[in-house]
Structure 1
Amino acid sequence: MKGASDSSAPGEDVRSLYPFLYHGTSGSPTAAALMAQVRESTVDKVCAAIRLREEVFERDRRRLVDCAEAMAERFAHGGRLLAFGNGGSSTDAQDLASLFLSPAGEARPLPAFGLTNDIAVITALSNDIGFNAVFSRQVAAFGRGGDIAVGLSTSGNSANLVPAFEEASRRGLLTVGFAGDDGGRMAELESIDHLFVVPSSSVHRIQEAQTTLYHVLWALTLTALDGERPVKR
């Protein structure tokens, strides 16, 4: 029985990740020490997130304005926005589309939709053709020359984003990409007109910064659509 009990004891790696689960056991930190660790970790993460955002916006602020103006021109001529991504980036793509389509307050709504909204389409394409085609096939079906295609990936290596950007570019869509780390395969594509790379290896920090980026891009696009107040450079 002693051997069985020892084998079920949590390893140090697990205890270090979830110290609050083992409070009161031998060698565990006190409540005060544990709270101090939580506070320090929280402050460190907040500071890292702020520094990353500052770095990205200092580097890309002019490019964000250029992208917003290009998007505004497409919207002004009846263009629509198609957003896509996988996993957490799928959620962000849906959030991006809803931001443009249903903004809070009195901001003008703009035509936008996410390509992961219809699970029947996603599963049909995945089952009948292959998962790599779930976005490119929809771009081919829905995309028009004056539209905008926006793809998000934390790694930049999502296999189904590459053909989607290629298809969008062939059809004359304005293409906008959000990637992380060094940009991955997306950084090598000539089919992406505007690419914003968040230089971090942390998926959490990348997605936080990407969310801020597309909110700023939305605000700049609305400003650019207002002919009385052009975007200042």
Structure 2
Amino acid sequence: MSRSRVALLGLGLLLMLLLYLGLPGPPEQTSWLWGNPNVTVVAGLTPGNSPIFYREVRPLHRAHRVEVVLLHGKAFNSHTWERLGTLQLLSQKGYRAVALDLPGFGNSAPSEEARTEAGRAELLQRVLRDLKVHNAVLVSPSLSGHYSLPFLMRSHQQLHGFVPIAPTSTRNYTQEQFWVVKTPTLILYGELDRVLARESLQQLRHLPNHSVVKLRAAGHACYLHKPQDFHVALLSFLDHLL
């Protein structure tokens, strides 16, 4: 191969490298329509040192001030609420809804902040602030109680409602600490969940402003086993908050 050809080949490879390095990275936020021109779906990362991935539905015409924030259990992530149809249903009813990937799950990286109880409460507070959520109803299944309960104890005045679904960490708090929380609460659990549901129910019953719904023939992830019953109970609770 002649020197001129080698030089041209080298120049071409250099140009390709420069073009590659100059290309913009993946966008931090993307949006698309969900087969419904009145609903916009947004997915992206919150700002800050420990960004959290989120999925959000924004109805064009919001019917309610209440905003629903959905956490997830150990084997799941924010995409669970999309597959289940919860995000779509809430948007159809005029609610803004946001589903989060907790640190180390889905598209969210692990976070040093999540190592302590105070850090987890602060992380959740920061995410709500970054996403401009002002009238949150927090839906918290299973593992996510590790985040929602510290937040509830410290910042329950910021919550419009709370929907625990057999959450972990209820034993970390006393009866007196639960008594202080006046947030309207819907305690949801599956009839066949005979371990964590019973343990958490025993503690959560000390919340003074609560109601209880048991989903028949459903296990720990009762919202997956009985999605229609879950959605009916959730929407009924939201309607009573208005």
Shared fold (TM-score greater than 0.5)? no
Larger relative CO (CA 8 A, sep 6+): 1 or 2? 1
TM, length-normalised to structure 2: 0.42
